[in-house]
Chain A
Amino acid sequence: MANMTAPEAVKPKPVATERPPAKLFDLARDKLRDLNLFLHTRAALEGAPHIHVNNPDGAHSVACGLNANLDVHIHGHVGYYAAGMNQLASVTIHGNAGPGVAENMMSGRVHVKGFASTAAGASAHGGLLVIDGDASLRCGISLKGADIVVGGSVGSFSAFMAQAGRIVICGNAEDALGDSLYEAVIYVRGEVRSLGADARFEPMNETDVAAVSMLLDRAGLTHSPKEFRRVASAKSLYHWHADADQEY
């Protein structure tokens, strides 16, 4: 409404004329290598930060290794390692992701609109991975500092040996959640079939509530942070106990 009363001279220009043209790749026709080469080199130089990719049809390593402030939209399902090693870029997958989506991400944002296969966000150091659907087994395995928000449920052995970072699970978790955790923290809203060795439930403090609230907000989800429980390391595996029960 403010614009309607503003003088003609200060009216903002229409957004469309300021926005650089979007670049379109069709993987039914274009080579994956040409797409990734464009994303690695020319996209930032040519000032074309909006890239759309059609017909990925389960290809591997789509939009891997980006290191620029790009906005990539992939329309369809991708195979292994999509958006792996991502830095700075925002990659949205309008479909499902295969194993190892956003593995080793350093920064930026990866958003899977469907479900993700095994080892989503494995070893990711930074940035945010959002999965609207379920994530399969080993989600966030060996996490090293990134944040992961899963709108659905996660499979067994999720957050195995996770060292730093946060995982928010809006649904349930299968077996051995947080096995051998280090300093990473898990927030889970639904049922946990079993906790892994050395993982334990802990009370949510104000910092936890604020963190969950912020991460849900960034993921576009509206659950109440108070519905979540905190899972963290009991730290009893940090040092070797020769007398400990070694049955696990």
Chain B
Amino acid sequence: MCGIVGLLIKRPALRDQLGALMVPMLVGMTDRGPDSAGLAVYTAPVPEPSHKLSLYSGANQVDWSQLLLRLAKELEGVHEIAPTGTHAVLTSATDPDLLVSWISRHAPAIAVLSIGQSIDLYKDVGAPADIAERYQFKSLRGSHLVGHTRMATESAVTPAHAHPFTAGRDFCLVHNGSLSNPHLVRKKLEPLGIRFETDNDTEAACRFFEWRLREGDDLRTAVQRGFSELDGFFTFLMGTDQELLIVRDAFSCKPAVVAETDDYVAIASEFRSLAHLPHIKHATLFEPKPEEIYSWRI
């Protein structure tokens, strides 16, 4: 079992409250996923050619300002870093691939959680309320977000196995369910040069969709292809810098409910994570139908 939450703000004035509205949604899914939690938040994009990298140091103590100094010495371009404890958002005009390779060589204790111009990503092990507090989720601002609370069933409880999973730029995915053919998907993708970071089933789905996006599919087409390629149970919630998308498998054993008002679209595994939202009594409520793709653009 796991919990998923998603929120897309339609009225720009409410974007400052994105985190505050979301925290009770995430905490409300604690019973469904008490061992880890995470979320991807999409902010206004940093200007070209800059990118943002979400970094995570785990149990290792990292002096973020020292890291910034070393970066400035060795790589050209303006770098900025915004730390929150073991997490930091690095903004840099250097090519992100160069940055990732520099980090893996010079600071191997640091994991790169996400890369993009809009996405910031946080994930960790522990109770969702503790993680929300640890990274000050309530003060997050942005247009939309994708969150997850995990109850591990098929791979280890580690920060790397927590959701959201990311691949490529500004793309993330969370999953409630389990896939039965992740190894076949992996066998298909690895010869194409696609590298995996964990043995988690959800990562296979994430990398499959991102591969299709790079091959030119739009997200809906990629998801449509997924119906024949991905076998198992799923409610998938995905984010790009422009879009929030939810889809359930043909059997729809994994729940989801959507609430839509003029101000927001809110998605959760269960209504109890939506009950606190403003004007929820007047929201349009529905459950996504099996193999029907629902998406909203910012």
**Chain A residues within 8 Å of B, Cβ to Cβ:** 55, 57-59, 77, 79-80, 96, 98-99, 114-115, 117-118, 136-137, 155-157, 174
> Chain B residues with Cβ under 8 A from A137's Cβ?
251-252, 290
Known: A98-B270, A137-B251. 19 other contacts (CB 8 A): A55-B275, A57-B272, A57-B276, A58-B272, A58-B274, A58-B275, A77-B271, A79-B270, A79-B272, A80-B270, A96-B271, A98-B271, A118-B253, A118-B255, A155-B252, A156-B250, A156-B251, A156-B290, A157-B251
Q: Is the CB of B287 within 8 A of A59?
A: no
Interface centre among A59, A136, A137, by most chain B C-beta atoms within 10 angstroms, is A137
Query: Does B106 sit at the interface, judged by CB under 8 A?
Result: no
Q: Is the CB of B255 within 8 A of A96?
A: no
CB of A113 to closest CB in B, whole Å:
13
0/1 per residue, B234-257, Cβ < 8 Å to A?
000000000000000011110100
CB of B200 to closest CB in A, whole Å:
26
Query: Does B183 sit at the interface, judged by CB under 8 A?
Result: no
B side interface size, CB within 8 A: 17
Query: Does B134 sit at the interface, judged by CB under 8 A?
Result: no
> Chain A residues with Cβ under 8 A from B251's Cβ?
137, 156-157
CB of B272 to closest CB in A, whole Å:
3
CB of A35 to closest CB in B, whole Å:
15
Candidates A57, A136, A156; contact of B275 at CB < 8 Å: A57
In the complex the two chains form, what is the Cα distance from A157 to B286 in whole Å? 19
- The main secondary structure of chain B at its interface with chain A is loop
6 contacts between A and B (CB under 8 A): A58-B273, A114-B285, A115-B286, A118-B253, A118-B255, A156-B250
CB of A241 to closest CB in B, whole Å:
27
Total inter-chain residue pairs, C-beta < 8 Å: 46
CB closest residue in chain A, given B253: A118
Of all A-B residue pairs in the complex, the 5 with the closest CB atoms, nearest first, are: A58-B272, A58-B271, A57-B275, A77-B271, A137-B252
In the complex the two chains form, what is the Cα distance from A55 to B281 in whole Å? 11
CB closest residue in chain A, given B281: A76
Q: Is the CB of A136 within 8 A of B271?
A: no
In the complex the two chains form, what is the Cα distance from A174 to B271 in whole Å? 24
Q: Is the CB of A136 within 8 A of B252?
A: yes
CB closest residue in chain A, given B285: A96
> Chain B residues with Cβ under 8 A from A59's Cβ?
272
**Chain B residues within 8 Å of A, Cβ to Cβ:** 250-253, 255, 270-276, 285-287, 289-290
Q: Is the CB of A136 within 8 A of B287?
A: yes
CB of B268 to closest CB in A, whole Å:
9
Q: Is the CB of B290 within 8 A of A155?
A: yes
> Chain B residues with Cβ under 8 A from A80's Cβ?
270
CB closest residue in chain A, given B268: A58
Q: Is the CB of B253 within 8 A of A77?
A: no
CB closest residue in chain B, given A60: B272
CB closest residue in chain A, given B254: A118
In the complex the two chains form, what is the Cα distance from A192 to B273 in whole Å? 34
In the complex the two chains form, what is the Cα distance from A50 to B291 in whole Å? 42
CB closest residue in chain B, given A80: B270
In the complex the two chains form, what is the Cα distance from A245 to B29 in whole Å? 44
> Chain A residues with Cβ under 8 A from B273's Cβ?
58
> Chain B residues with Cβ under 8 A from A58's Cβ?
270-275
CB closest residue in chain A, given B286: A115
> Chain B residues with Cβ under 8 A from A117's Cβ?
255, 287
In the complex the two chains form, what is the Cα distance from A127 to B214 in whole Å? 55
CB of B276 to closest CB in A, whole Å:
8
Interface centre among A77, A114, A115, A118, by most chain B C-beta atoms within 10 angstroms, is A77
In the complex the two chains form, what is the Cα distance from A155 to B251 in whole Å? 10
In the complex the two chains form, what is the Cα distance from A156 to B250 in whole Å? 9
CB closest residue in chain A, given B271: A58
In the complex the two chains form, what is the Cα distance from A59 to B270 in whole Å? 9
Candidates A55, A99, A115; contact of B255 at CB < 8 Å: A99
Interface centre among B252, B271, B272, by most chain A C-beta atoms within 10 angstroms, is B271
In the complex the two chains form, what is the Cα distance from A98 to B251 in whole Å? 16
